[in-house]
Structure 1
Amino acid sequence: MKKITSFILLTLGFVQFSCNDDFLTTTDPTRISSDLFYQNQTQFEQALNGVYGQLQGITNTAYLGQEFMSDNTTLDFNPLDRGGAAGWEAFEFSTVNPGNGEIATLWNSHYSTMYNINYALEKLEPSTIDAAAKSAIGGQLKFMRAFHYFNLVRYFGDVVLVTKTLKSPNEAFDLVRSPQAEVYKQIEADLKEAANLLPVTYPASGRGRVTKGAALSLLGKVYLTLKRYPEAVSTLKQVLPLGYSLYANYKDNFDPTKKNGVESVFEVQYQGGNDLGEQSNFVYVFAPRLSQGAVTGFANTTPSGRNIPTNDMIAAYEPGDLRKDISLQTSYTLNGVVVPIPFINKYRYPHTITGRSDNNWPVLRYSDVLLMLGEAINEATGPDAEALGYLNQVRKRAGLGELAGLTKDTYRTAVLNERRVELAFENHRWFDLQRTKSPSELAAFMNAYAAKEKTSPTVSRGGIAFNALDYVYSDFEYYLPIPAPQILINTKLTQNPGYQ
């Protein structure tokens, strides 16, 4: 918990984005004493932009715990470089332990952002800035706090719940993990307040900011996770009249020239094409490691080969599904040779500077809302015409036939698979599996997938056999371990069962 008490105010200030991102223009507030800051609306907006900025670092590696751990993706194994075996590769092979540096980064990055959120909220409360601006800023901060805690509670189970800044380092050593029920109670309260405070839309200069629709959509997802289905239904239905719609073309969701469009409920903002440091680089991380420029478009690149679509994922698409070729490709061509290694195609767009792509990251889309609503109705009252209608809207856009005559169980299976292919590689799969299965069911499911992947790996391992511990899933791996450094710093923190 040292990070919470020592992290300086607003570690990230944002610079100017493109036309849809220019609300992120700010100076660096860390150059001003915190006692002198927060004096006017501009400074509060700068502080808020810093919180938005921290989303980038968290999003850049979120695939590890949300896609990589699932049956959706694997890695382009490098037999000559085993440096990642104890770090990022462990998420693929289910060998994460408390000393893993990636989980320490995950924990610290969320809590350092939380400090900035709590500090800004404390300063906002007594401020006398314009009332409408105060409401909008407060709503965005409350959404962000809920968003981060929703991630943490699903990653780790019981987590430290901090909603105010600590006044001295000693207070950090008294912090303990709060039960999940308390964490979810705070998440729910923050999102309800955010929904009441936030506007439905912003002027063009504010596109990309959190809206009322984003708060309601995330709250609906929280209720779905908690299996509070009637509340999920009523909450998600409030999103329907807010002006969202499905793009006619699925691909438009990921086109950098169409950021924050009609289907976007919330996305993390990036900007490429310059040296300002706000670019995304997903295509470089996800392209096969020996593909050079065949995927990225720049011959002098060395991609990472992470988050490779699995054979199981590829097989999940129905014949004729228009989303498949948009989301993934099963091979690339280099120097006239076809190499049968699949890769994520969803974030592959032309850009002008090596390593500086312009893709935003979708967090909540309207199709997600429709599928959640259909699922919640099915769980609450069964697969009526309304629930089928929401599911079939998404299928129709994908060029697939309508489903009919489903039972509650077959609808449940159909909507989970629909979510898998519709939201592929957008960081939903692990949490979808987790919320729809018990720990023992999830372990059995993943072990069945692992048996197939070990028998016939998606990507050749260059003659290197699997380790005996690879792809062995246990019930306790429903949650990640608490990072070892946190327990060393604060002995009052307990470790998750199975990781002691």
Structure 2
Amino acid sequence: MKNSIKIYISLSIVLSLVSCSEDFLDKQNPNQLGEESFFTTEKQVNQAVMGVYGQLQGIIGNQWLFNEMITDNTTVHFDEGNRGNAPGIETFEYWQVNANTGNIYGLYRDIYNTLGSINLTISKLEGAEIDTSAKARFEGELRFFRAYYYFLLTQYFGDVILVTEPFSDPSEAFALARSPISEAYVQIESDLEVAIASLPNSVVASEAGRLTKGAALTLSGKFWLTRKEYGKAETLLGQVTSLGYDLLPNYADVFDPNNKNHIESIFEVQFQGGNDLGESSSFIYSFYPKFTNGEVTGFPGISGGGWNIPTLDIIGDYEDGDLRKDISLSEGYTNKNTGEFVAIPFIEKFRYEHSIQGRPDNNWPIYRYADVLLMLAEAINEQSGPNEEAYGYLNEVRDRADLSPVSGLSQEEFRSVLLHERRVELAFENHRWFDLRRTLSTSEIIDLFNAHSALEKANPTTPRGIVPFSAGDYEFNAFEILFPIPDRELLVNPRLSQNEGY
């Protein structure tokens, strides 16, 4: 997959996927491949599918903002001398997001752009002159991605615009209304059933990174956990345990760029660094502290963006002796000029040496086996409380971290321990927000965030200088469980409704 041609069919929900009917628009340049002539061979369809994989790189590169920094896991390296990002990125940290927040529009646009590419490619599969088994696999991959993106949309926005076919006329896009989340769930379930049936159990080394049945089962298990259908979740996740996955003995090896697509990896986004091909994973530079002048980045004079900084709260949540702590984060760095320790935390688990500045080689884990084990423990506990099997799954993950096994817990105690375990095992991997939404009530999330707010205001993770907190900072309201529909979408489509509170 590293060598696959990635064609970015990045077409918007409004303009992309439109087959124009006017004669003068239907005339095709004979020197170019058009929509009708492109999706005809297996190679061409494969290129289109690779384009969908490619679009995932950009989307996943920004998920930390929506899934980590909005929570108690990470914060900002506050820069009192540059407040340019205060109305943008920092709004997620301080829960000040509104319908004009640019990153919300970017999230919404990018996901629907990708859904447009997916729907177009699915619609062309039927007429493609390719082998039946290849066609089934392509459909399984595309259906997985459609389910994945609609699942994200439902968790971020609630009711969604549900589109599964290309448009034949641009005006159709401006007549769309949001469908109830229940209808989106029906579509997600249908797509995942096809993906599970169509995707292979494994792939050859040259196709490392392509989707497998394990990824579809994992997403499906998480989907049913979210819907609180715990028996279905347990059945689906249980199937993953028979597909050959296992925990790596060493937690650090999970994230090592020299050990990509390993036995614990179920699905990870593929990046390739060390060159100028545009496939590197530069997200880690956003996570490095500001003003480091190379002490953290490894390149003299180069600092980081100062985003997604581990909070004092998560640092304090690691148990004594947990091997994952020092692998996941550093509590600061040493200034090479003065020899002083600078207590600005940063994410460590994706920090590896690379040969070209700004061109790291890290993949990004979306699903791995430890996540499956913890979800299985959750599904069992929510049905009838913890049993020997649930303890086994949980303690298998704890054992690798060199922690003592837990036992003798009530259902509520097990639930609390499990949420803690997911927090530290999957730290900074974009799970925290959805975990909180799935396992806590709205009032419990508000209580948790209020407690975090009090801690950060009393003792900020990074110093604020003379700049006080703004009115409304760290005030989380019930309506903020969902993001707002971007204002610019409401302007072009009056049929869209805004989420309550915005």
Relative to the length of structure 2, the TM-score reads 0.94
**Corresponding residue for residue 258 of structure 1:** 259
The yes-or-no answer on 1:348 pairing with 2:357 is no
Alignment of 1:48-127 (within 5 A): 48-127=49-128
1:359-416 deviation digits (Å, cap 9, x = unpaired): 0000000000000000000001210000000000000000000001011001100111
Matched letter for residue 103 of structure 2: E
Aligned partners of 1:293 and 1:299 also within 8 Å: yes
Pairwise CA distance, 1:33? 1.2
Indicate the SS of the match to 2:296.
helix
Of 305-314 and 329-338, the range deviating more from structure 2: 329-338
Pairwise CA distance, 1:39? 1.1
1:19-56 deviation digits (Å, cap 9, x = unpaired): xxxxxxxxxxx962111101100001000000000011
Q: Unaligned 5+ residue runs, structure 2?
A: 1-10, 19-30
**Corresponding residue for residue 16 of structure 1:** none
Aligned partners of 2:196 and 2:217 also within 8 Å: yes
Alignment of 1:316-395 (within 5 A): 316-335=317-336, 336-395=339-398
Pairwise CA distance, 1:133? 1.0
Matched letter for residue 466 of structure 2: G
Aligned partners of 2:140 and 2:198 also within 8 Å: yes
The yes-or-no answer on 1:6 pairing with 2:4 is no
**Corresponding residue for residue 24 of structure 2:** none
Distance, in Å, in 1 between the alignment partners of 2:62 and 2:208 is 24
1:418-456 deviation digits (Å, cap 9, x = unpaired): 000000000000110011122232122211111111111
Distance, in Å, in 2 between the alignment partners of 1:497 and 1:444 is 20
Pairwise CA distance, 1:293? 1.1
Pairwise CA distance, 1:145? 0.5
- Of 417, 436, 457 in structure 2, the residue corresponding to residue 454 of structure 1 is 457
Distance, in Å, in 2 between the alignment partners of 1:330 and 1:445 is 23
Distance, in Å, in 2 between the alignment partners of 1:117 and 1:317 is 41
Aligned partners of 1:308 and 1:343 also within 8 Å: yes
Relative to the length of structure 1, the TM-score reads 0.94
Aligned partners of 2:68 and 2:433 also within 8 Å: yes
Aligned partners of 2:160 and 2:179 also within 8 Å: yes
- Identity, % of aligned pairs? 52
Pairwise CA distance, 1:208? 0.5
Matched letter for residue 315 of structure 1: G
**Corresponding residue for residue 39 of structure 1:** 40
Distance, in Å, in 1 between the alignment partners of 2:393 and 2:126 is 40
Indicate the SS of the match to 1:392.
helix
Q: Unaligned 5+ residue runs, structure 1?
A: 10-29
Indicate the SS of the match to 1:363.
strand
Distance, in Å, in 1 between the alignment partners of 2:117 and 2:76 is 35
Distance, in Å, in 2 between the alignment partners of 1:443 and 1:201 is 42
Distance, in Å, in 1 between the alignment partners of 2:37 and 2:412 is 59
Indicate the SS of the match to 2:469.
coil
Matched letter for residue 370 of structure 2: S
**Corresponding residue for residue 24 of structure 1:** none
The yes-or-no answer on 1:494 pairing with 2:483 is no
Alignment of 1:193-232 (within 5 A): 193-232=194-233
1:42-97 deviation digits (Å, cap 9, x = unpaired): 00100000000001111111101100000000000011111111111100000000
1:208-252 deviation digits (Å, cap 9, x = unpaired): 001000000000000001100000000100101101000000111
Indicate the SS of the match to 1:270.
coil
Indicate the SS of the match to 1:6.
coil
Do the aligned partners of residues 35 and 251 (structure 1) sit closer, same or farther apart at CA in structure 2, a change above 3 Å counting? same
**Corresponding residue for residue 477 of structure 2:** 474
Matched letter for residue 341 of structure 1: I
- Of 431, 447, 453 in structure 2, the residue corresponding to residue 428 of structure 1 is 431
Distance, in Å, in 2 between the alignment partners of 1:217 and 1:60 is 21
Indicate the SS of the match to 1:364.
strand
Distance, in Å, in 1 between the alignment partners of 2:501 and 2:191 is 32
Matched letter for residue 421 of structure 2: E
Pairwise CA distance, 1:128? 3.3
Aligned partners of 2:139 and 2:198 also within 8 Å: yes
Do the aligned partners of residues 136 and 105 (structure 1) sit closer, same or farther apart at CA in structure 2, a change above 3 Å counting? same
The yes-or-no answer on 1:415 pairing with 2:428 is no
Distance, in Å, in 2 between the alignment partners of 1:314 and 1:126 is 55
Distance, in Å, in 1 between the alignment partners of 2:32 and 2:443 is 51
Aligned partners of 1:271 and 1:359 also within 8 Å: yes
1:92-144 deviation digits (Å, cap 9, x = unpaired): 00000000100000000000000000000000123231112111111000000
Distance, in Å, in 1 between the alignment partners of 2:32 and 2:196 is 33
**Corresponding residue for residue 288 of structure 1:** 289
Aligned partners of 1:282 and 1:347 also within 8 Å: no
Distance, in Å, in 1 between the alignment partners of 2:310 and 2:387 is 34
Pairwise CA distance, 1:8? 7.3
Aligned partners of 1:440 and 1:474 also within 8 Å: no
1:310-352 deviation digits (Å, cap 9, x = unpaired): 0000011000000000000001112122101100001000101
Pairwise CA distance, 1:170? 0.7
Distance, in Å, in 1 between the alignment partners of 2:382 and 2:108 is 33
Pairwise CA distance, 1:300? 2.9
The yes-or-no answer on 1:184 pairing with 2:185 is yes
Aligned partners of 1:267 and 1:363 also within 8 Å: yes
